[in-house]
Amino acid sequence: MLRRRKTLRVAGLMSGTSVDGVDVAVVDIRDAKVRLVAFEVFPYRPALRAEVLALCHPDSAKVDRICHLNHVLGEVFAEAVLRLCRKCGIAADSIDLIGSHGQTIWHQPWGGRYGGRTIRSTLQIGEPSVIAHRTGITTVADFRPRDMAAGGQGAPLVPYADYVLFRDAKVSRAVQNIGGIANVTFLPAACGRDDILAFDTGPGNMVIDAIVRRATGGKRHFDRGGAMAARGKVDEMLLREMLKHPFLRRKPPKSTGREEFGQAYCEWLNRRLRKKPLPLEDMVATVTAFTARTIADAYRRFLPAMPDEMVLAGGGAHNRTLVRMLQGELTAVKIRTTDEFGIDVDAREAVAFAILAWATIRGAANNVPSATGASEPVVLGKIVPGR
């Protein structure tokens, strides 16, 4: 049985709030030691990306398209694993397990009322039965609902993997992911799992990307390397208005997504910019500063102490202007990247879901109640056997 094997080769699949494509990482795990074997990002076709994004808004999501695209993405995820195997010369039958995050289309961590109680809910698509059948590999997916059933927010889930990968006996670390949304895992020196603090700090690249797409008429989708922001000047008045968003003052545990910093938020920002237009570079510089400031403010407000090190991951780690702004905000914190620990900055979340699947198949609790607000540790995920 898989749970009895000392070494497991696991593929982790991740598609985040940016809906750019499927990240696939293959890792070997033995005694909680993780070695990255291969990693690749397989972008979505533009038409598929547009359809998935339409599912993330209540006014454009339709039940027939949700049903259809759930299975379409299952096919896309399965093919991504097989493509990586072909590209890197990995035998597909050498992979013991797949861990798939799926594609979140809606997440309600605060829940709604039903039968006199609050019911939290979340929905990720990318049918795991399709993945398991097409690849022949046992697949673990749908990790968030079990944590919600235990009273948690179903997020963040990556802290368990951060604990496995980055805890240190002498150094305190903040593992800072900057994807569409930014989130932090705080690992005090010599921490146990109950000592972990993790939460979403606010927007990562989501607002920056939206402003770039709008201002360039869709010709550009992101600020490569932070070059546009580097040429701009931060509008402090607009930045102060943006920093009034209520999520930023909310105490952890907390998580967010497109529901708070997606289309509706960007429409508010666009209306604000119509009243006081800014040059493109100034707009991008301001929203980049917004991401940097929200991260730094979250550390100052909610961490019990400043970390010795920040370990950066995600697409934002490539944005040199954003990293420079972060260092300017947190001068006493050494900024590193996950690359220095053998994990590609773009692979960290895919690797995390491989680690979560490894824990699930071993019957180990893999949520972090101090991060999600769950009442107890639980084993996450649903297991679909392969062939």
- Confidence at residue 365, expressed as pLDDT on a 0 to 100 scale: 97
Over residues 28-84, the pLDDT tens digits come to: 999 889 999 999 999 999 999 999 999 998 889 999 999 999 999 999 999 999 999
Going by pLDDT thresholds of 50, 70 and 90, the confidence category of residue 116 is: very high
Of all residues in the chain, what percent carry a pLDDT higher than 90? 84
Taking residues 104-113, what's their average pLDDT?
A: 91
- Give dist(CA 85, CA 117) in Å, integer: 46
Split at pLDDT 50, 70, 90, the class of 16 is confident
Task: State the average pLDDT over residues 161-172.
Answer: 97
Among 209-218, 223-232, 340-349, the range scoring the smallest mean pLDDT is 209-218
Q: SS in 3 state form for the chain?
A: CHHHCCEEEEEEEEECCCCCEEEEEEEEEECCEEEEEEEEEEECCHHHHHHHHHHCCCCCCCHHHHHHHHHHHHHHHHHHHHHHHHHHCCCHHHCCEEEEEEEEEEEEEEEEEECCEEEEEEEEECCHHHHHHHHCCCEEECCHHHHHHCCCCCCCCCHHHHHHHHCCCCCCEEEEEECCEEEEEEECCCCCHHHCEEEEEEECCHHHHHHHHHHCCCCCCCCHHHHHHHHCCCCHHHHHHHCCCHHHHCCCCCCCCHHHHCHHHHHHHHHHHHHCCCCHHHHHHHHHHHHHHHHHHHHHHHCCCCCCEEEEECHHHHCHHHHHHHHHHCCCCEEEEHHHHCCCCCCHHHHHHHHHHHHHHCCCCCCCHHHHCCCCCCCCCEEECCC
Distance CA 356, CA 372 (A): 15
What is the model's pLDDT at position 217?
Answer: 87
Kindly indicate the confidence band of residue 274, based on its pLDDT and cuts at 50, 70 and 90. Answer: confident
* Percent of the chain scoring above 70 in pLDDT: 100
pLDDT for res 214:
86
Report the mean per-residue pLDDT for the chain.
95
pLDDT of residue 28: 98
Nearest to 373 by CA among 255, 257, 256, 253: 253
